[in-house]
Structure 1
Amino acid sequence: MNASVRRKGPTRAEMKADLQAVAMALLSRPWLTKQEDPEAFLLIKDHFEYLRDWFYEHAGYSLFVTRWFAKLEKIPGVFRSWMGIDGFHQPRDYALFTYGLWYLEAKSDGEQFLLTEMVEAIRNHLLGMGFDVDWVLYDHRLSMVRALKKLRSLGVLTSIEGEETGWARDGADANVLYEASPLARYVLRRFPRELMAYGEIDELYEVEQTAMVPTSGDMVHSADVRSRRHKVFRRLLMEPVVYDFEWTEEERRYVQTQRSWMLSQMEEMVGLEGRRFREGLYFYWPELMAEVDLFPTQSAVSDVTMQFAAKLRELLMEDPQRYPRDEHGRLHLTRGEFEGILLSLRETSERYWTKDHREKSTTQLATDILGHMAEWNLAAQDGAGGVVLLPGLSRYCGTYDVIDGENKGA
């Protein structure tokens, strides 16, 4: 008699971990393709309804799956400068990226064409709209090259022969052979209304409206409740930290009253653990995640930021009233005071810094550190040229351990 053999399926914990991994991938990547990540793609297809319903109900995000890829259409709760495309330097880059998509949408899957054909079509189209892009100008060609490189990195454009850098350098004397991908028509997110119908940037935040429904004998607009929930979850999913004072009064009340439910939902779907502090509700990953950028980053600028936080804590322990503090727990420093803290750090820790940071002036270093803090919502500049240190900075502290005269790390 032959004994039957049964394959052991994944445990509930393993399935939960897999779903959290694909949820984070959907949040972090433009899309997941079947070709590049077949296991994740199949997992999304198997659990499509669950993932689709969770993201739509909590954040108003739409999940759609084709035979090639899965995409979660993300909309930020608030637009931030760091949400731009890495490598783009000016608005022209974004415009040419968009018109590159416009050109590709008319191409069939696998159709080949030349770079010179593409840029000439874009130029003629823009001229018809009253805008002049001149490929004789090196800056204009560089903008187009940055747009083309981003299109290639997304997989909507494939280079068959040649490089864009040659065209940027030599203009019409160089060329590139491309092949189109069907993904081009899916890059830009879909809008509930025709794009030209939007008059203000804030209108792009809108969520789908629903009809009025009765609740406890009163008629309430369920769209208001849904909109509030969507805005809250969008910010918590996409921003490093959101303080209580950054919410509207209604949003803050929602966060405070629904805290336990929100904590359980965020942990269940994406693996984020939350904790309430005086200044707001914080979420963090208990382990390192490859899909997302985490603070502190691998960059040396994070090391100096952590040292700055430790030095600030030391100064406040000596004199709690050293810097003015407002009702939201924000510290207000002059630019000179901010640079003074960095100068004291330079005197004690400069030998452990990178060559780039050692060679910069304190003013240049301050600009770098302040920019890094602003990206992670740890600091901001006020209108008078001063510096505002936000409460989240106090949650970090970094020092170098020196044993037997050697640096053992931060």
Structure 2
Amino acid sequence: AAEPGLAATGFMLTLDTRSDRADLVAVVRLLLTWGVLTRVAGDEDAYLSAGADVLYDVRRPVLGALLTGSRGPSTITARAFEARLAELTAEPVAETDELRNQALRRTLTRRLLDEPVVYYDELTEDERAYLVAQRHNITGRISEATGLLPELRAEGIAMVDPDDELTDVRMPEQRTDGHVTLLLAEYLAGRARAPRGELLAFVRRAAQAHAGYWRKGVTDPGAETELLDIALEKLTGLRLVDIDIEVTRDGTGTVIRGRPAIARFALAEPTIREPGSSPGRQTRKATAHAASTIF
């Protein structure tokens, strides 16, 4: 109410009048609709007519997911949706080195929390330099606040959820779709790129090999298309692959390229020690495999 810009227009909100209370009730009911508030006691009509109190619970997980910005929507002049959204979320320009470092720290912390993997080659030069220099400090604060564990690699950083509570796309996952995704990740981990047709053939072979364990219908003609699409949706969501359109002399086709983090799902032959042998006398068995954790 004391904001000079509002006072200059003659705007006042004292909640002493019914019209003022009606404005507040409209806001509260919107928050109730969104699930931010839950009514505990009383109702808005009683507040509106007599000023009676109403008690609410605040659902902070919902509140934390709402779109917020440094600018009020009423200050935005753009008309097109994308332009309005850009103005709403635009960060103020930092004028000092300290403010610029703070802005970089906030931006990088958000990305590490929001994205499964943050690759260095996708950052600006300033972001990359700051993250490389401060990665232990930034990831340490995130770990302390959330329990996520950092994987620091040459290509980037992934914050891993050891309790599997903060992700909506899991890898690995059980059942048919999860097994297809894991097999596809293993296949792509050993290749720089693979045409979509090659992956469809791979899924068809896998369906035949695992038909006794997967859901019914996986060996039907065309079933591999759905299985592949589900798997690729998971892998792209986890930043493990990119899907590109490639033009060759034979025409245009879809190509899937593995990102560095997909190497975590590569398989390799383990070194197995024979019973009674010393650690120095080990042989390799082609019948067993172990997962590589290189990324």
Shorter chain as normaliser: what TM range?
0.5 to 0.7
Question: What is the CA–CA distance in structure 2 between the aligned matches of 1:200 and 1:333, rounded to whole Å?
Answer: 39
**Post-superposition shift, 1:271?**
1.4
TM-score of the aligned structures, taking structure 1 as reference length? 0.44
Q: Which residue of 2 aligns with 1:378?
A: 240
Q: Which amino acid aligns with 2:165?
A: A
Question: What is the CA–CA distance in structure 1 between the aligned matches of 2:227 and 2:103, rounded to whole Å?
Answer: 41
Q: Which residue of 2 aligns with 1:395?
A: 264
Question: What is the CA–CA distance in structure 2 between the aligned matches of 1:374 and 1:197, rounded to whole Å?
Answer: 35
**Post-superposition shift, 1:203?**
3.9
Question: What is the CA–CA distance in structure 1 between the aligned matches of 2:67 and 2:57, rounded to whole Å?
Answer: 15
The 8 Å contact of residues 116 and 238 in structure 2, kept in 1 or not, is answered as: yes
Q: Which residue of 2 aligns with 1:362?
A: 224
Q: Which residue of 2 aligns with 1:197?
A: 77
Question: What is the CA–CA distance in structure 2 between the aligned matches of 1:299 and 1:203, rounded to whole Å?
Answer: 43
CA separation of 1:383 and 1:105: change in aligned 2, threshold 3 A: farther
Q: Which residue of 1 aligns with 2:117?
A: 241
Matching of residue 227 in structure 1 with residue 103 in structure 2: yes
Cα-to-partner distance string for 1:328-353 (whole Å, 9 max, x where unaligned): xxx22221122222223223223222
Matching of residue 206 in structure 1 with residue 90 in structure 2: yes
- The one of 211, 224, 236 equivalent to 1:350 is 211
Q: Which residue of 2 aligns with 1:276?
A: 152
Q: Which amino acid aligns with 2:106?
A: H
Question: What is the CA–CA distance in structure 1 between the aligned matches of 2:130 and 2:121, rounded to whole Å?
Answer: 13
Question: What is the CA–CA distance in structure 2 between the aligned matches of 1:197 and 1:358, rounded to whole Å?
Answer: 56
Q: Which residue of 1 aligns with 2:194?
A: 333
**Post-superposition shift, 1:280?**
1.3
Cα-to-partner distance string for 1:346-403 (whole Å, 9 max, x where unaligned): 23223222336555621222212111211111122213332222222221258xxxxx
The 8 Å contact of residues 379 and 389 in structure 1, kept in 2 or not, is answered as: yes
**Post-superposition shift, 1:210?**
5.4
- The one of 115, 130, 147 equivalent to 1:254 is 130
CA separation of 1:356 and 1:369: change in aligned 2, threshold 3 A: farther
**Post-superposition shift, 1:106?**
4.7
Q: Which amino acid aligns with 1:251?
A: E
**Post-superposition shift, 1:237?**
0.6
CA separation of 1:361 and 1:292: change in aligned 2, threshold 3 A: closer
CA separation of 1:206 and 1:235: change in aligned 2, threshold 3 A: same
CA separation of 1:294 and 1:370: change in aligned 2, threshold 3 A: closer
**Post-superposition shift, 1:288?**
1.9
Counterparts of 1:69-108 in structure 2, within 5 Å, are 106-107=25-26
Question: What is the CA–CA distance in structure 2 between the aligned matches of 1:370 and 1:247, rounded to whole Å?
Answer: 24
The 8 Å contact of residues 332 and 388 in structure 1, kept in 2 or not, is answered as: yes
Question: What is the CA–CA distance in structure 1 between the aligned matches of 2:169 and 2:234, rounded to whole Å?
Answer: 13
TM-score of the aligned structures, taking structure 2 as reference length? 0.59
Question: What is the CA–CA distance in structure 1 between the aligned matches of 2:25 and 2:172, rounded to whole Å?
Answer: 41
Q: Which amino acid aligns with 1:192?
A: S
Query: Runs of 4+ in structure 1 displaced over 3 angstroms?
Result: 103-109, 155-158, 181-184, 186-190, 200-205, 207-212, 289-294, 297-300, 355-360
CA separation of 1:252 and 1:341: change in aligned 2, threshold 3 A: farther
The 8 Å contact of residues 243 and 279 in structure 1, kept in 2 or not, is answered as: yes
Q: Which amino acid aligns with 2:203?
A: L
CA separation of 1:361 and 1:104: change in aligned 2, threshold 3 A: farther
Q: Which residue of 2 aligns with 1:133?
A: none
What's the % identity of the aligned pairs? 21
More helix by share: 1
The 8 Å contact of residues 169 and 238 in structure 2, kept in 1 or not, is answered as: no
Question: What is the CA–CA distance in structure 1 between the aligned matches of 2:218 and 2:88, rounded to whole Å?
Answer: 40
Q: Which protein, 1 or 2, shows the higher relative CO under an 8 Å CA cutoff with sep ≥ 6? A: 1
The 8 Å contact of residues 235 and 242 in structure 1, kept in 2 or not, is answered as: yes
User: What secondary structure, in the 3-state scheme, does the structure 1 residue paired with 2:152 have?
Assistant: strand
CA separation of 1:382 and 1:108: change in aligned 2, threshold 3 A: closer
CA separation of 1:188 and 1:279: change in aligned 2, threshold 3 A: closer
**Post-superposition shift, 1:302?**
2.6
The 8 Å contact of residues 307 and 397 in structure 1, kept in 2 or not, is answered as: no
Question: What is the CA–CA distance in structure 2 between the aligned matches of 1:246 and 1:262, rounded to whole Å?
Answer: 18
